[in-house]
Chains A and B, each alone.
Chain A
Amino acid sequence: MKKFGKYLYIGLIFFFLYLPILTLIVMSFNDNERTSGVWYGFTLKWFGEIFQSQDVMEALINTLVIAVASAAIATLVGVVACVGIMAYTRRQRTLILQLTNIPLLNAEIVTAISLMLTFGMFGISLGMGTILFSHICFCLPYVILNVLPKLRQAGSSTYEAARDLGAGPVKAFFSVVLPDIMPGVATGFLMSFTMSVDDFVITHFTRGAGINTLSTLIYSQQKRGIRANMCALSTVIFLVVLIVLLVRFFLTGRTTADKTVKGGT
């Protein structure tokens, strides 16, 4: 009986977390142009209309371009910065890590208006550039905090060995250090990409008129009801991510299991 109560509780929490997602997936098959709580019959036509709707396609492309660019630039700047930070004194390192933490701890809306005010102060007109800059800024901490620990863990001996054997600093970095810190770099990049795709608040304040990402387009539709093709697009994105994550989960799940077996014998 106790066990039943336990599984009921866990089940209810996850039901709560997944109920809206189920709703949106159902809505993308509903034969009604704007989402509502009423079922009008089954249709697949919204999935075809994803690609015909110009504003949805534009928003999708903007979202992806900004996410890829900001994650890539943040990763590049962040990894290079971490190498530099390794040479810092203790006090300098503490200071820079505190500054790195600010965007993570600060309220999103405060970060957003602070950037908006700065662009205004320097007469920079809001547009793709300002969105991109802002996204790089809030992605950087994720890169730094994932890469720096890996770099410290890797230590300097392999790098110095490579240098002693005649490799230049750049070659030594790419062939010896980078493979060691790659998991951290990859995590930093993926977290940045995810945060950028899902961001609404910062884009909302730093975008220019007429530029939409998926989040801001959804927000502009929310009063009159979300268009069904938007639900369809989100369903497609969700299912793609689900499949990718499931495949990855089962692959990596198996490899870690193998490792533990080997470690045991």
Chain B
Amino acid sequence: MFKRKSLSLPYILFILCGTVIPLLAILYYAMVDKSGHFTLANLAAIGDPLHLKPLLFSLLLAFICTAICLLLAFPLGLMLRRSGAGKKGFVIFLLILPMWMNFLLRTIAWKILLQKTGVINAILNAVGLKSLEIINTPYAVVLGMVYDFLPFMILPIYNVMIKIDNSLVEAAYDLGASPFRVMKDVLLPLSMPGIISGVTMTFVPSMTSFAISEILGGGNISLIGNIIEGEFLRGGSRNVGSGISMVMMVFILISMALLNKVDKNGEGAVV
């Protein structure tokens, strides 16, 4: 219709200055030392246990967080799917609304709820149960991550499930399939695009978050995000920080590639 490619020039400028050059900048800083000479020391810095342990621990917590979110969101999607499409708008409204309270504040609210003298423990003690002492431990960090990223798992799964034609499910039952087979051969494959996109949207942020571990870990828990933040903002070396970020991106790409192998049809669009 319009024959003016030049109209997208300002946007191309933004892509160049805001995406392409910055990514090349990380690559450059990762490959040079402070005086600008080529080195591989920044990339090798990941071998330092001070960096390697947080990287592996972040991977572990991200896997756990993603798995819990999936286990919570999948049954929820099934239940909401059956409760009628008329409520679709309202369900999405209820899922998006919490995001209008600043996510740092919501995470800090968990700190208040979980602390030793907090509300949750007061209730537990009142009914005669032992106190839950998970604040400043990895358990609290995982809880915070699950809390913050659960909507990003629920939304894509719900969006895909609500579109599944119920006659397919009925047909499977009519042909004598057990509930388990209906799940395995009908509902699960049809929900796969939503699951893949939900897993992506949960895994990457939980792998790289630093604020949640800082708030709910009480400064005791060092994830790879905390290491990178320290290198850049708390007197570390930008070069080492860039090197570690590069390695972290490689780990994310490997995880994503594994995920894409599961998603054979490549239907898992993120947006």
Stretch in contact with the other chain, from B40-48, B73-81, B170-178, B180-188: B73-81
Nearest-neighbour CB distance to chain A for B5, whole angstroms, equals 5
A136 and B8 in contact, given A234-B102, A238-B100 (Cβ under 8 angstroms): no
Contact between chains at B11 and A78 (CB < 8 Å)? yes
Which residues of chain A are near B194, meaning CB under 8 Å? none
Contact between chains at A200 and B104 (CB < 8 Å)? yes
A86 and B2 in contact, given A21-B106, A113-B245, A201-B211 (Cβ under 8 angstroms): yes
Stretch in contact with the other chain, from B23-31, B126-134, B161-169, B258-266: B23-31
Which residues of chain B are near A140, meaning CB under 8 Å? 11, 14, 18
Q: How far is the CA of A103 from the CA of B2 in the complex (A)?
A: 27
A to B contact number (C-beta, < 8 Å): 231
Let me know if B6 is at the binding interface, CB within 8 A. Answer: yes
Let me know if A229 is at the binding interface, CB within 8 A. Answer: no
Nearest-neighbour CB distance to chain A for B154, whole angstroms, equals 8
* CB-contact partner of B19 in A37, A81, A102, under 8 A: A102
Q: How far is the CA of A241 from the CA of B103 in the complex (A)?
A: 15
Let me know if A36 is at the binding interface, CB within 8 A. Answer: yes
Binary A-proximity of B83-115 (CB < 8 A = 1, otherwise 0) = 100000110011101111111111111111101
A77 and B98 in contact, given A115-B22, A117-B242 (Cβ under 8 angstroms): no
Let me know if B249 is at the binding interface, CB within 8 A. Answer: yes
* CB-contact partner of A99 in B15, B103, B115, B233, under 8 A: B15
* CB-contact partner of B97 in A24, A35, A245, A252, under 8 A: A245
Nearest-neighbour CB distance to chain B for A194, whole angstroms, equals 8
Contact between chains at A37 and B18 (CB < 8 Å)? no
Contact between chains at B89 and A249 (CB < 8 Å)? yes
Q: How far is the CA of A137 from the CA of B13 in the complex (A)?
A: 10
Let me know if A10 is at the binding interface, CB within 8 A. Answer: yes
A18 and B98 in contact, given A104-B271, A108-B208, A115-B18 (Cβ under 8 angstroms): yes
A118 and B8 in contact, given A21-B109, A108-B205 (Cβ under 8 angstroms): no
**Interface residue count on the A side (C-beta < 8 Å):** 88
Contact between chains at A134 and B7 (CB < 8 Å)? no
Let me know if A88 is at the binding interface, CB within 8 A. Answer: yes
Q: How far is the CA of A205 from the CA of B7 in the complex (A)?
A: 31
Let me know if A83 is at the binding interface, CB within 8 A. Answer: yes
Contact between chains at B208 and A107 (CB < 8 Å)? yes
Nearest-neighbour CB distance to chain B for A197, whole angstroms, equals 8
Which residues of chain B are near A47, meaning CB under 8 Å? none
Which residues of chain A are near B102, meaning CB under 8 Å? 198, 200, 214-215, 218, 234
Contact between chains at B207 and A169 (CB < 8 Å)? no
A37 and B14 in contact, given A18-B98, A160-B1, A198-B102 (Cβ under 8 angstroms): no
Contact between chains at A241 and B89 (CB < 8 Å)? no
Which residues of chain B are near A24, meaning CB under 8 Å? 101, 105-106, 109
Residue of B nearest to A120 (CB): B238
Binary B-proximity of A216-227 (CB < 8 A = 1, otherwise 0) = 001100100010
Residue of B nearest to A113 (CB): B232
Contact between chains at A231 and B105 (CB < 8 Å)? yes
Contact between chains at A85 and B8 (CB < 8 Å)? yes
* CB-contact partner of A17 in B98, B100, B104, B225, under 8 A: B98
* CB-contact partner of A169 in B2, B10, B18, B19, under 8 A: B2
Q: How far is the CA of A192 from the CA of B22 in the complex (A)?
A: 21
Contact between chains at A23 and B113 (CB < 8 Å)? yes
A–B pairs, 7, beta carbons within 8 Å: A10-B83, A13-B150, A37-B113, A101-B271, A105-B204, A136-B14, A173-B2
Instruction: Give 9 nearest A-B pairs by CB, closest first.
Output: A156-B1, A84-B8, A137-B18, A81-B11, A84-B7, A114-B22, A20-B109, A107-B208, A37-B118
